[in-house]
């Protein structure tokens, strides 16, 4: 039974996701003792810059029909960039492993909790709940995918085992993606940009029989996150220091967290930090 | 194990509660084909619906609610009017969406059982404190008579005798146990049942924290919505009933007992769908 971590990295004009993937793969090796494979639309770039990092480099075609979305960099900067996020539903077919931990490149792994996935009987696991570090923000958008609608699940980390259940889930995600406008209307999602969190949430809801349920189980441990309005300052041996936006947006306050897995949604801040380390 | 037999109380005012009761009965026949249904009413049941009811029983002991529109004053008589040794009572504005016979396994452990928590359309436990201030402020057991069940026995008989006493003297008892008219200036079967339970100190004997029996309670302000700009839950989310009478509210398939609470829900389209499913013609 092969097992490993899989990441998707498709650079846009400003953000080097491959660089993040390289950084993450080293942390995965350190904390989870697992190989990491990468799905990318530019294998030559990966092989040139990071020839020894990845277990396998899986090349997919360049995405032509990508959308755009706003990327923030702390409280004061934002830019509109290409958003290439349509390959996640193909991961079931693309993964080289029997048991796969699919992860965003901006998840800072700092402990071995997620290694327990592989000992569980559940063929699919996601996070439904994650903990935001400001402790003041209105997080209702992460509770339900729209105010009257279904539970929100994070597609940030997904464990799956090659199995009929996992196949159905990914097929369902693919179906939702292919019929996004319909499902967007059905689930009252106002933002037109396709989002994997929503597609996975809808697929989980459908697999729960269109009811609230626990057919799909939650991943072990806690996933923390900072938003793109917050900043990563430094990290040493799993001790992260962040600057988090104040409630009145007059500045930042410092937050330190030790030995926890943190989703660093501010990609620019993460990129700067990685550059400083290299 | 005997089937779950249902009794519905319906008394027309300026609204046709008999039509609601007939819809509820159709839903029971669709999902619980082995169950019998009794309707307690003084009103006329349309001919095409009469076969839905094994018994149609007149309200005994006169009509105590002639001056009221909500018509709850007679509800304590259900115990005396039902023909069944074991009776599941549901409100007329409910749909039974699943076979509930497995509930008997739990109910058989009790002489009398009240639901003490209800769900939202999402299947989450509802926070009903907006509607239940007197319950909270006066430490009344959080009971819902919308679904309750009893065996004909000494304990239930005693409970219902007390319920008769409380409902016939509700102003006195509400003043003593529920804050009086400041909280509620009309009698309610839920508050009255809670007061009786408190007097008899029998909460542990008549309810439990199990996940069922329960029902989905569609009162607007207990659905867990942060923002409500409308007066009706039907303006906030859609209702979808397919030809097999599977009900979806918003994005959620409904199950168990669905307490729609708003009279306009019982519309011709819903009624016609059930009639078609059960082969009831208008001729």
pLDDT for the residue numbered B218: 98
pLDDT attached to residue A104: 98
Cβ proximity of A212 and A84 under 8 Å:
no
Cβ contact (<8 Å) for B252 and A150? yes
- CB contact under 8 Å between A205 and B251, yes or no, is yes
Structure confidence at residue B283 as a pLDDT band (50, 70, 90): low
Instruction: Give the pLDDT confidence score for residue B69 in this predicted structure.
Output: 59
pLDDT at A157: 98
Average pLDDT value over all residues in chain A: 96
Residue B206 · residue B110 · CB < 8 Å: yes
Q: Does B211 contact A at CB distance below 8 Å?
A: no
Q: Kindly write down the DSSP assignment for every residue of A83-102, as one continuous string.
A: E----GGGHHHH-SSSEEEE
pLDDT category of residue B281 using cuts at 50, 70 and 90: confident
Contacts of A148 in chain B (CB under 8 A): 225, 236-237, 250
> Tens of pLDDT along A112-158?
999 999 999 999 999 999 999 999 999 999 999 999 999 999 999 99
Between β-strands B37-40 and B55-57, what pairing exists: parallel, antiparallel or unpaired? Answer: parallel
Residue-wise pLDDT for B209-251, tens only, equals 988 999 999 999 999 998 888 999 999 999 999 999 999 999 9
> Is A149 at the interface with chain B, CB within 8 A?
yes
CA A163, chain centre distance (Å): 22
Element (H, E) at A226: strand A223-226
Q: How confident is the model at residue B66 (pLDDT cuts 50, 70, 90)?
A: low
Q: Does B200 touch chain A (CB under 8 A)?
A: no
B125 secondary structure, DSSP code? B
Q: Could you tell me if B48 lies within 8 Å of chain A, comparing CB atoms? A: no
d(CA A6, CA A53): 12
**Sheet with A252-258: strands ordered across:** A231-236, A239-245, A252-258
Q: By the CB < 8 Å criterion, does B133 face chain A?
A: no
Q: Which residues of A touch B252 (CB under 8 A)?
A: 150, 210-212
Which residues 10-39 of B have a C-beta within 8 angstroms of A? none
Percent of chain A with pLDDT over 70: 100
State how far the Cα of A172 lies from the Cα of B253, in Å rounded to an integer.
18
Give the pLDDT mean for B115-142: 92
CA dist., res. B110 & res. B113, Å (int): 6
B123 contacts A210? CB cut-off 8 A:
no
Domains and CATH numbers, chain A: 3-66+83-223 (3.90.550.10)
Of the candidates B225, B237, B253, the beta carbon closest to that of A210 is on: B253
Cross-chain CB nearest to B251 (options A140, A210, A213): A210
Q: Where is average pLDDT lowest: A215-224, B26-35, B55-64? A: B55-64
Mean pLDDT within B24-34? 97
User: Looking at residue B128, what is its pLDDT?
Assistant: 87
Residue A1 to residues A25, A65, A99, A100, B193: CA-CA distances in angstroms?
21, 36, 7, 11, 60
Whether A71 and chain B come into contact, CB under 8 Å, resolves to no
A86–chain B nearest CA distance, Å:
24
Report the DSSP beta bridge partners of residue B79: none
pLDDT given at position B111:
98
A143 in contact with chain B, both atoms CB, cutoff 8 A: no
According to the model, what pLDDT value does residue A252 have?
97
Among B252, B253, B255, the residue to mutate for chain A (most A Cβ within 10 A): B252
A52 within 8 A of A22, measured Cβ to Cβ: no
Domains of chain B with bracketed CATH: 6-278 (3.90.550)
- A187 touching B, CB under 8 A? yes
- Whether residue A22 has pLDDT greater than 80: yes
Calculate how close chain B gets to A213, using CA atoms only, in Å.
9
Please check whether residue A150 touches B, CB under 8 A.
yes
- Residue A222 · residue A260 · CB < 8 Å: yes
């Amino acid at each position: 039974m092969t097992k490993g971590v899989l990441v998707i990295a498709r650079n846009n004009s400003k953000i080097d996701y491959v660089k993040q993937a390289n950084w993450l793969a080293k942390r995965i090796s350190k904390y989870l003792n697992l190989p990491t494979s990468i799905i990318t639309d530019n294998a030559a770039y990966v092989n040139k810059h990071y020839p020894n990092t990845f277990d396998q480099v899986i090349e997919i075609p360049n995405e032509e029909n990508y959308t755009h979305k706003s990327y923030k960099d702390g409280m004061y900067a934002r830019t509109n960039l290409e958003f290439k996020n349509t390959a996640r539903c193909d991961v079931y077919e693309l993964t080289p492993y029997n048991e796969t931990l699919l992860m965003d490149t901006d998840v800072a792994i700092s402990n071995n909790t997620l290694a327990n996935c592989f000992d569980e009987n559940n063929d699919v696991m996601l996070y439904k709940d994650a903990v935001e570090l400001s402790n003041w923000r209105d997080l209702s958008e992460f509770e339900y995918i729209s105010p009257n609608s279904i539970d929100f699940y994070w597609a940030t980390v997904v464990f799956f085992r090659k199995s009929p259940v996992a196949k159905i889930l990914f097929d369902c995600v693919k179906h939702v993606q292919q019929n996004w406008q319909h499902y967007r209307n059905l689930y009252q999602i106002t933002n037109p940009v396709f989002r994997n969190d929503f597609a996975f949430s809808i697929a989980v809801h459908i697999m729960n029989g269109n009811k609230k349920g626990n057919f799909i189980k939650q991943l072990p441990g806690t996933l923390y996150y900072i938003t793109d309005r917050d900043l990563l300052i430094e990290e040493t041996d799993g001790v992260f220091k962040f600057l988090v936006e104040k409630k009145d947006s007059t500045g930042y306050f410092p937050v330190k967290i030790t030995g926890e897995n943190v989703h660093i949604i501010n990609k620019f801040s993460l990129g700067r930090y990685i550059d400083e380390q290299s | 194990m005997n089937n779950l037999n249902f009794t519905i109380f319906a008394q027309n005012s300026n609204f046709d509660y008999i039509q609601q009761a007939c819809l509820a009965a159709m839903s029971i026949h669709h999902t619980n084909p082995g169950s019998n249904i009794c309707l307690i009413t003084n009103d006329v049941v349309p001919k095409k619906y009469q076969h839905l009811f094994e018994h149609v029983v007149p309200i005994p002991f006169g009509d105590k609610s002639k001056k009221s529109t909500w018509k709850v004053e007679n509800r304590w008589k259900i115990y005396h009017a039902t023909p069944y040794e074991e009776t599941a009572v549901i409100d007329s504005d409910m749909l039974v969406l699943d076979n509930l016979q497995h509930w008997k396994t739990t109910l058989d452990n009790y002489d009398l059982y009240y639901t003490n928590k209800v769900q939202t359309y999402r299947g989450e436990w509802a926070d009903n404190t907006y509607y239940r201030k007197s319950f909270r402020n006066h430490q009344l057991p959080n009971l819902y008579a919308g679904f309750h069940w009893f065996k004909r026995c000494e304990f239930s008989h005693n409970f219902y005798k007390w319920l008769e006493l409380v409902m016939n003297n509700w102003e006195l008892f509400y003043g003593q146990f529920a804050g009086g008219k400041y909280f509620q200036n009309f009698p309610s079967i839920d508050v009255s049942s809670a007061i009786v339970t408190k007097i008899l100190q029998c909460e542990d004997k008549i309810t439990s924290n199990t996940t069922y029996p329960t029902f989905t309670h569609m009162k607007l302000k207990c659905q867990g919505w942060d923002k409500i700009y409308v007066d009706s839950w039907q303006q906030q989310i859609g209702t979808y009933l397919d030809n097999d009478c599977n009900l979806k509210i918003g994005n959620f398939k409904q199950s168990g007992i669905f307490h729609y609470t708003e009279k306009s829900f019982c519309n011709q389209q819903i009624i016609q769908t059930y009639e078609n499913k059960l082969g009831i013609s208008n001729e």
